């Protein structure tokens, strides 16, 4: 029998980002990262902010930054509904830095709790993306 693969789908509200077959995928669940191999027990989880790593031929072939969302795993597929999905290699450091400054300013100017929560989210997202982008720069 041919080698089994996981049918992985990454979907953002705007579009279907990825749909392909992989050996393994590691997803940042809200209660810890989890790896999905073929014939994984079916389950549904919420996600925290983090990186989705796709494994092909024994190593990471692609990684995407996701800003929270949901994952659904069944025996043969893994579907990630991400609020935002950006390839780690395409994070624009300058843009993120700008966003971080803006978000921090918004956080200070926020009047309502709602605005505050939204700005807080943006700060956290930008900070995480910046860390990733720095790590990438360090590797290169």
Partner 1 sequence: MPSLKSLKNRIASVKSTRKITSAMKMVAGAKLRRAEEQANAARPYAERMERMLGELSASLAGQQGAPKLMAGTGKDDVQLLVVCTADRGLCGGFNASIVKEVRRKITELESAGKTVKLFCIGRKGRDMLRRDHHDKIVGSLEDVAKPALTFDKADDVARIILEMYEQGAFDVCIVYYNLFKSAMTQIVTPQQLIPFAPPAKAEGAGEDAGTLKAMYDFEPSEEGILSALLPRNLSVQIFRSMLESAASEQGARMTAMDNATRNAGDMIDNLSLTYNRTRQAVITSELIEIISGAEAV
Which has the closest alpha carbon to 36: 13, 9, 16? 9
When asked if residue 45 is in the footprint of partner 1 (CB under 8 A), the reply is: yes
Helical H segments across the chain, by residue range = 93-109, 113-139
CB of 112 to partner 1, least distance (A): 10
Other CB atoms within 10 Å distance of the CB of residue 65: 22
- Under the binding rule (CB under 8 A), the answer on residue 11 touching partner 1 is yes
Is 140 near partner 1 (CB under 8 A)? no
* Structure tokens that stand for 139 in this block: 């590797």
Q: Which of 26, 37, 51, 81 binds partner 1 (CB under 8 A)?
A: 81
Output the smallest distance, CB 9 to partner 1, in A. Answer: 8
Closer residue to partner 1, CB minimum distance, 9 or 127: 9
Q: Would you give the DSSP letter of residue 93?
A: H
**Cα dihedral 18, 69, 26, 3 sign:** negative
Strand pairing category for 43-56 and 32-36: unpaired
Determine whether 121 is exposed, middle or buried from the number of CB atoms within 10 Å of its CB (0-12, 13-18, 19+).
middle
Q: Does 70 bind partner 1 (CB under 8 A)?
A: yes
**Is residue 133 a contact residue for partner 1 (CB under 8 A)?**
no
Q: Among the candidate windows 12-20, 48-56, 101-109, 132-140, which touches partner 1 by CB under 8 A? A: 12-20
125 binds partner 1 (CB under 8 A): no
Contacting residue, 58, 59, 114, 138, with partner 1 by CB under 8 A: 114
Residues found near partner 1 in the complex (CB under 8 A): 9, 11-16, 29-31, 41-46, 70, 72, 74, 79, 81, 83, 114
């Amino acid at each position: 029998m041919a080698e089994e693969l996981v049918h992985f789908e990454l979907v953002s509200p705007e579009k279907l980002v990825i749909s392909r077959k992989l050996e393994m995928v590691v997803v940042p669940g809200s209660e810890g990262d989890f790896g999905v191999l073929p014939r994984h027990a079916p389950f549904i989880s919420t996600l925290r902010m983090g990186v989705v790593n796709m494994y092909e031929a024994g190593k990471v072939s692609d990684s995407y930054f996701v800003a929270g969302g949901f994952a659904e795993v069944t025996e043969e597929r893994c579907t990630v509904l991400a609020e935002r999905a950006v390839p780690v290699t395409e994070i624009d450091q300058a843009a993120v830095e700008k966003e971080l400054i803006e978000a921090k300013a918004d956080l200070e100017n926020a009047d309502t709790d709602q605005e505050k929560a939204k700005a807080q989210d943006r700060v956290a997202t930008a900070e995480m993306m910046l860390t990733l982008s720095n790590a990438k720069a360090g590797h290169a």
